[in-house]
Amino acid sequence: MTGVLLEAYGLTSLDVSAAAGYIVRSLDLGDAATREVVNDAPDADGTIDSTQFIGARAITLTVRLVPRNGFIPAVLERQLRAFTAPRLRPTMTITRDGIPVQRVTLRRGPFNSPLQQATYQDITVQWFCPSGILESAIEHVANVYAAGTGVTAGRAYSLTFSRTYPASAPLGSSAIVNDGNSDAFPLIRLYGPFTNPVFDNVTLDKSLQFSAMTIAAGQFVEINTRTKTIYADGNPAAPLYDKLDFPESKWWTLSPGSNVLRFHPATFTEGVTRAEVVWRDAYL
C-alpha cells in the first residue's frame, strides 16, 4: 500500500491516508523533462546533440474524500490545499507498506476540486519537482577524516622490476555509496582546525581546492554542491566563495555507486579535522 506524507514550514504535517480521511486513488511520479541541447550539424546531415541534463517533473496525486468516521470533506480539502501555497516548497515522503522509500521537494501546480458528489469528492493535486530528481527518504551522513599527502617510509626488499600492482585508494580515503541511479548533490561541512583544504572525489577525478583559508577548531565551512554556495559556519552572511581556487577546482557530485573521497588540508589535527558529507540517494 502506498502512503503520502506532506511537510512544509509553518504547517502541521499531513498524512494523506485512509486513516486521516483521504483515500489515495493514484499517485503519478511522472518523468523528468529532457533539457535538449540540439543544433543542426553544419554542412552535414543530422544534428549535434550535447544533451546532458533533465528538467522539472510533474507529480500528480488523486484522492477521494468520503464523509465517514466524522471526517468533513471541506476540512480535508482545506488541509490539502494549504500545501499548494506558491511560497512553500513542501516535501512529499512516499511510503510503501509503511516504509518510507522516497522523498521529493515540490512547488505548487494545479488544484482540481470539482463540486462534491452525493457520497464522495475526488480531488486532483499537481505539484512540480524543480530538480526533477527523487531522493531516498533516509538521509545519509558519513565522516571523512583528514589525511596528509606525504608517503610513509617502508622497508626495502629485493624485487625484480618491472612489476604491476592493482590500483588502490589513496591514503586516508573513504568510500561513500549513492544507491540511486542519478547523481546526488551532497552537503559538505569541513570542520577545523585546518588550512587550505582540498577535498577530492577520487572516483570522478574532481577536486575542490581552497587557498588563503584558515579555519579554527570548533568552526566549519559549509559547502552546498547543488547551490554552489560556501559559507563560514553555514552562515549566508559569511560567504567564503572567494577562497575557492577556481583554476584548480571542479564541482563534483556523488555518482551512482561507490565514490572514493579524500580530505587533505595543508595542515590539520589528526583525528579531529574531518569532513562531514550529507546526502540522499538520487533517482531519475
Residue ranges with strand state E in 113-210: 121-129, 134-136, 140-145, 174-178, 187-191, 194-195, 198-201, 206-209
Query: Which one-letter amino acid corresponds to residue 44?
Result: A
Distance between CA atoms of 173 and 64, rounded to whole angstroms?
A: 52
CB 282 within 8 A of CB 135: yes
pLDDT digits (tens, 9 = 90+) for 23-40: 999 999 999 999 999 999
Q: What DSSP state is assigned to residue 242?
A: G
pLDDT digits (tens, 9 = 90+) for 58-81: 999 999 998 888 888 889 999 999
Distance between CA atoms of 190 and 261, rounded to whole angstroms?
A: 13
229-236: average pLDDT: 97
pLDDT digits (tens, 9 = 90+) for 121-175: 899 999 999 999 999 999 999 999 998 654 333 344 455 555 554 444 445 689 9
Position 257 pLDDT exceeds 90 = yes
Dihedral Cα 143, 207, 225, 219, nearest 10 deg = 50
DSSP output for 77-140: HHHHHGGG-TT---EEEEEETTEEEEEEE-EEEEEE-PPP-SS-EEEEEEEEETT--EEESSPE
Q: Residue 229 is inside which H or E element, if any?
A: strand 229-232
Per-residue cell: 72? 468533513
Sheet (strand 121-129) strand order: 22-28, 57-65, 121-129, 107-112
CA triple 97-98-104, angle to 5 deg: 100
Domains and CATH numbers, the chain: 2-34+49-136 (2.40.30), 140-149+168-283 (2.60.120.860)
Lowest-confidence segment of 1-5, 75-79, 115-119, 179-183 by average pLDDT? 115-119
CB 126 within 8 A of CB 60: yes
pLDDT-derived band at 246 (thresholds 50, 70, 90) equals very high
Greatest alpha-carbon span in the chain: 91
pLDDT digits (tens, 9 = 90+) for 161-214: 555 544 444 456 899 999 999 999 999 999 999 999 999 999 999 999 999 999
Residues 6+ apart with CB under 8 A from 161: none
